[in-house]
Amino acid sequence: MAQWRDMKKDELEKQYSPSQWSHRMAADDVIRVHVASLREGTQTARGVARTLLDVPYGEGEGEKLDIYMPSSSSSNLPLVIYLHGGYWQFLSKEESGFMAASLVPKGVAVVAVGYDIAPKGNMDLMVSQVRRSVLSVLQQYPRVSGVYLCGHSAGAHLAAMVLCTDWTQYGVSPQIKGAFLVSGIYDLLPILSTYVNEPLKMTEEVALRNSPGQLVPELKKASSACHIVVAVAQNDSPEFRKQSEDYFKALKSSGLTVTFEDVPNTDHFNIIEQFVDEDYYLTQLLLKIIG
């Protein structure tokens, strides 16, 4: 398989355009259907959960969370923090509560995190925001039985950056028990010369310090007890698949607890959309890890 450095710009752009690889429908349609599906799932979740919406975790306008709680009064529940995708420039927490539709009835709380997408937010700010969002959730719910991260695409990148956090700077030591990284990007260098970087305006320096693949020693130090699942869609692009495979191998060779899931009959979008279904393979796997 060609390394990204050998690719012409148009080939690289195609590799990093997930909608062009879906076998289900045309590129524009798959994105439109994706957004509609996430919105519908989030509406369903708001019907089954007790919700706390627009809870601030910082001073910024975009620094808000939506919390989906089971009706049971126990505070000693597992809690999943979801970080949305959208290439750091699209989507919001408003479409990001869909996982709660299948998890809340099983007694799992779900938090959907908002952050300042580009061009308002830059990469350093977004990483800082999601770290502070996790900190805020831990302070708000200190008695939860376990914290689990889930991120899709750009959100998987941000979840991986959370796992690398030096929490001593924040004066805490959170026990993140599990992380589901779904169709993520772990090396930002290949996207520097593509359309993806136009609103982000990352330099090589910014891309390197925010590439989880470069930060495996930091992750090992911060999150050695975490069970990490690296999941990728059968119909993700070869370059997206390679990113997941390479990141999984780097984690595994560092002795971390990590599993690789190559999910059949999925593309970049429905691999996450199907979390609304409690019988979906990845939903079942998440519930199993939560125990």
Six-digit token string for 246: 């390479």
Catalytic, 268? Answer yes
Considering the candidates 34, 84, 157, 268, report the single residue annotated as catalytic.
268
Considering the candidates 153, 223, 237, 244, report the single residue annotated as catalytic.
153
| Residue 67: its H or E element | strand 64-69
Peptide bond into 217 cis (omega under 30): no
User: 110: closest CA among 72, 142, 73, 80?
Assistant: 80
CA atoms within 13 A on the CB side of 276: 22
CA distance 242 to 52: 38
Catalytic, 236? Answer yes
Q: Which region holds residue 249: left if phi is over 0, alpha if psi is between -120 and 50, else beta?
A: alpha
User: 51: closest CA among 70, 38, 37, 36?
Assistant: 70
Considering the candidates 236, 237, 244, 267, report the single residue annotated as catalytic.
236
| Residue 62: its H or E element | none
| Residue 172: its H or E element | none
CA distance 227 to 179: 6
CA distance 4 to 190: 6
Q: Show which residues are catalytic.
A: 153, 236, 268
